[in-house]
């Protein structure tokens, strides 16, 4: 029986992991706490560790896990910006779930755009209070509006198709454009300048951290709507707040936030939030926050458990697995996966 310590577990994670675990002789032990320097000791005696987006997998945590003989970390998410892949290299193999449902995230991004544009969140609250006034609820037709999509991978492409269904004019920017597609690529500068709405679907890297900042916001259209279902660090939250206050940004929809680690996935009602920027953002009438829930569909949860379990099985069978990630992922020339080898 393979024993896996699963951190940051929520009730909705358990059923599919228990099921796939049973089928593959894997015992998942569910911990509710995040993995970090203080909780890493809980993994002692386990064969591997399973983490999520807000678990801390820095150099210190990696060294603690390695000292317990752990050589496997499986991420039950696609992004791996929370893992110090350089520190793990040569010690601990890291696997992720590269795709579990691009539809879940893309559909959520569109739900946020529709909700903000047509003020559905306001209408819902008003009518519950028997307020049937339409003042301040005016939106715009999405038809013929220009949407700028940053990142045209699995999720970006599904989102583009949804937008096309609405008759929107789609332009896109990707560091590695898909030349075989019919997507209209433009420079990032042009995208910022021309878009009525901007939706982020690229990973967070060192190079694109705070790509939405004071300077880039200045170049955008007045009234632009920004949707971020990707990673919080892509947006400088203080610049976003300023843009909202100056009425430059028409609305923002945030499923992710740079400092979400201590906030999201928890019931904080009744608490006073220490993060002033986040409190101010949430209090704005034209900002919608969902707490990193874009992935949350039944299909995605099932696919996450299935692929994570497969990643574990393949690791212990010593099989090469393209879901492995290491710090060479950012530098494709050094990528061993391309030569069908393990990362190390
Ligand atoms: P993907 O790997 O299929 O596509 C990412 C695209 O971004 C690629 O086409 C890549 O060339 C492009 N890219 C890389 N660096 C870039 C840069 N600096 N600027 C512009 N484009 C760049 O990934 P997928 O599955 O489409 O996911 C996209 C992102 O969505 C993930 O990195 C993750 O951060 C986020 N995500 C959020 C979820 C949520 O629940 N909110 C769930 C799943 C993913």
User: What is the best residue among 79, 105, 151, 323 to mutate for testing ligand 1's pocket, by most ligand atoms within 8 Å of CB?
Assistant: 151
The average confidence (pLDDT) of the chain is 96
3-state SS, one letter per residue, for 152-183: CCHHHHHHHHHHHHCCCEEEEECCCCCCCCCC
**Whole-angstrom distance, CA of residue 334 vs CA of residue 125:** 53
Q: Say whether pTM exceeds 0.85.
A: yes
Angle at 53 between CA 51 and CA 54, to 5 degrees: 90
Q: Is residue 180 part of a domain?
A: yes
Angle at 208 between CA 323 and CA 278, to 5 degrees: 100
CB atoms within 10 A of CB 141: 10
Note whether 93 and 12 are same-domain residues: yes
Note whether 209 and 262 are same-domain residues: yes
Instruction: Say what the pLDDT of residue 126 is.
Output: 98
Average pLDDT over residues 152-181: 98
Note whether 74 and 208 are same-domain residues: no
Q: What is the DSSP string of 236-283?
A: -HHHHHHHHHTT-EEEEEES--TTGGGTTTS--TTSPP--HHHHHHHH
Q: Is residue 280 part of a domain?
A: yes
Q: Maximum distance among all alpha carbons in the chain? A: 64
Angle at 229 between CA 144 and CA 76, to 5 degrees: 140
Instruction: Say what the pLDDT of residue 339 is.
Output: 72
Instruction: Say what the pLDDT of residue 122 is.
Output: 97
Ligand 1 atom having least distance to the Cα of 293: 40
Note whether 132 and 209 are same-domain residues: yes
Q: Is residue 73 part of a domain?
A: yes
User: What is each CA distance from 293 to 47, 168, 301, 303, in whole angstroms?
Assistant: 29, 25, 11, 16
151 ligand 1 Cβ < 6 A: yes
Would you give the DSSP letter of residue 202? S
- pLDDT confidence of 262, banded at 50, 70, 90? confident
Measured by CA distance, the residue closest to atom 8 of ligand 1 is 153
Q: Is residue 237 part of a domain?
A: yes
Instruction: Say what the pLDDT of residue 278 is.
Output: 97
Note whether 255 and 326 are same-domain residues: no
**Whole-angstrom distance, CA of residue 160 vs CA of residue 213:** 24
Ligand 1 atom having least distance to the Cα of 173: 20
Instruction: Say what the pLDDT of residue 317 is.
Output: 96
Measured by CA distance, the residue closest to atom 27 of ligand 1 is 155
Domains of the chain: total = 2
**Whole-angstrom distance, CA of residue 67 vs CA of residue 44:** 9
Q: Is residue 169 part of a domain?
A: yes
203 ligand 1 Cβ < 6 A: yes
Instruction: Say what the pLDDT of residue 334 is.
Output: 73
Domain harbouring 71, CATH code: 3.40.50.720
99 ligand 1 Cβ < 6 A: yes
Percent of the chain at pLDDT > 70 equals 100
SS3 of residue 87 by DSSP? helix
Tell me: pLDDT of 180 over 80: yes
Average pLDDT over residues 65-93: 96
Distance of CA 180 to the CA centre of its chain: 26
232 ligand 1 Cβ < 6 A: no
> What is the tens place of the pLDDT at every residue in 115-136?
999 999 999 999 999 999 999 9
Phi, psi of 229 (to 5 degrees): -110, 15
Note whether 149 and 264 are same-domain residues: yes
Answer whether 95's CB lies under 8 Å from 321's CB.
Answer: yes
Instruction: Say what the pLDDT of residue 274 is.
Output: 94
Note whether 40 and 165 are same-domain residues: no
Phi, psi of 192 (to 5 degrees): -60, -40
Answer whether 294's CB lies under 8 Å from 108's CB.
Answer: yes
175 ligand 1 Cβ < 6 A: yes
Average pLDDT over residues 23-33: 97
Note whether 242 and 115 are same-domain residues: yes
Note whether 112 and 254 are same-domain residues: yes
Instruction: Say what the pLDDT of residue 111 is.
Output: 98
> What is the tens place of the pLDDT at every residue in 311-339?
999 999 999 999 999 988 877 677 777 77
53 ligand 1 Cβ < 6 A: no
Tell me: pLDDT of 177 over 80: yes
- Active-site positions read 231, 260, 292
Note whether 145 and 283 are same-domain residues: yes
Average pLDDT over residues 91-98: 96
Ligand 1 atom having least distance to the Cα of 178: 9
Distance of CA 260 to the CA centre of its chain: 11
Q: Is residue 109 part of a domain?
A: yes
Instruction: Say what the pLDDT of residue 342 is.
Output: 84
Q: How much distance in Å is there from the Cα of 305 to the middle of ligand 1?
A: 20
User: What is the best residue among 76, 78, 288, 337 to mutate for testing ligand 1's pocket, by most ligand atoms within 8 Å of CB?
Assistant: 78
Tell me: pLDDT of 43 over 80: yes
Strand (E) or helix (H) holding 304: helix 298-316
105 ligand 1 Cβ < 6 A: yes
152 ligand 1 Cβ < 6 A: yes
Range of the domain at 45: 2-100+297-339
Ligand 1 atom having least distance to the Cα of 296: 40
Note whether 173 and 95 are same-domain residues: no
Q: Is residue 344 part of a domain?
A: no
> What is the tens place of the pLDDT at every residue in 270-313?
999 999 999 999 999 999 999 999 999 999 999 999 999 999 99
294 ligand 1 Cβ < 6 A: yes
User: What is the best residue among 76, 202, 227 to mutate for testing ligand 1's pocket, by most ligand atoms within 8 Å of CB?
Assistant: 202
Note whether 95 and 137 are same-domain residues: no
Residue 326, strand partner residues: none
Q: Is residue 256 part of a domain?
A: yes
């Amino acid at each position: 029986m393979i024993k896996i310590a699963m951190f940051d577990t929520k009730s909705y994670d358990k059923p599919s992991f228990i099921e796939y675990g049973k089928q593959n002789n894997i015992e998942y032990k569910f911990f509710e706490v995040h993995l970090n320097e203080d909780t890493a000791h809980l993994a002692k005696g386990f064969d591997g560790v399973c983490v999520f987006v807000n678990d801390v997998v820095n150099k210190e945590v990696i060294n603690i896990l390695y000292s317990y003989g752990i050589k496997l970390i499986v991420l039950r998410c696609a992004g791996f910006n929370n893992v110090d892949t350089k520190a793990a290299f040569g010690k601990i193999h890291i696997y992720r779930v590269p795709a579990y449902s691009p539809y879940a995230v893309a559909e959520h991004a569109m739900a946020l755009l529709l909700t903000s544009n047509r003020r559905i969140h306001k209408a819902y609250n008003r009518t519950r209070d028997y307020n049937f006034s339409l003042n301040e609820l005016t939106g715009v037709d999405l038809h013929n509006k220009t949407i700028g999509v940053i990142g045209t991978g699995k999720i970006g492409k599904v989102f583009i198709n949804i937008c096309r269904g609405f008759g929107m004019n789609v332009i896109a920017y990707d560091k590695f454009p898909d030349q075989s597609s019919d997507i209209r690529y433009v420079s990032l500068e042009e995208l910022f300048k021309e878009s009525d709405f901007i939706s982020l679907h690229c990973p967070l890297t060192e190079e694109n951290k705070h790509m939405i900042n004071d300077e880039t916001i200045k170049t955008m259209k007045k009234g632009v709507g920004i949707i971020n279902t990707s990673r919080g660090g892509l947006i400088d939250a203080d610049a976003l707040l300023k843009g909202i206050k100056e009425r430059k940004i028409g609305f923002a929809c945030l499923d992710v936030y740079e400092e979400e680690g201590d906030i999201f996935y928890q019931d904080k009602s009744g608490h006073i939030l220490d993060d002033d920027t986040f409190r101010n953002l949430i209090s704005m009438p034209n900002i919608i926050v969902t707490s990193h829930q874009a992935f949350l569909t039944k299909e995605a949860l099932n696919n996450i458990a299935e692929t994570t379990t497969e990643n574990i099985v393949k690791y212990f069978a010593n099989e090469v697995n393209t879901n492995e990630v290491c710090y060479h992922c950012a530098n494709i020339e050094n990528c061993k996966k391309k030569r069908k080898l393990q990362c190390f």
